[in-house]
Amino acid sequence: MAEKVFQKNMEFAKKHSQMYGLEIDDTMSTEEIVSKYGEESRKASGLVIDNKIIINKEVAKGSINGENVANHELLHGILKASKANITQDLV
């Protein structure tokens, strides 16, 4: 059931990310992500770099709210793309 929810959320995020000029990449392993984005990305379920949303499926599927990581990161990407002047740290 959790895998089904995870996949549905990924589909939703991939579909809607295009509306904001964002691209979702969920193809890399943890080691590939660390190699490309640094050691600080090792435990991240997802991250937004420029117009790319990176999803670490290995980490996300092992976390409590991991089934929604794609939508969570999509929201970060949308906020970033909006260029809104947000003065508070985003989680």
The residue ranges of DSSP E strands in 1-91, in sequence order, are 23-25, 46-49, 52-55
Residues 22-71 pLDDT 10s:
999 999 999 999 999 999 999 999 999 999 999 999 999 888 778 888 88
Decide which of 83 and 14 is more confident: 14
pTM for this one?
0.81
Number of H helices, E strands in the chain: 4, 3
Give me the pLDDT at residue 23, please: 94
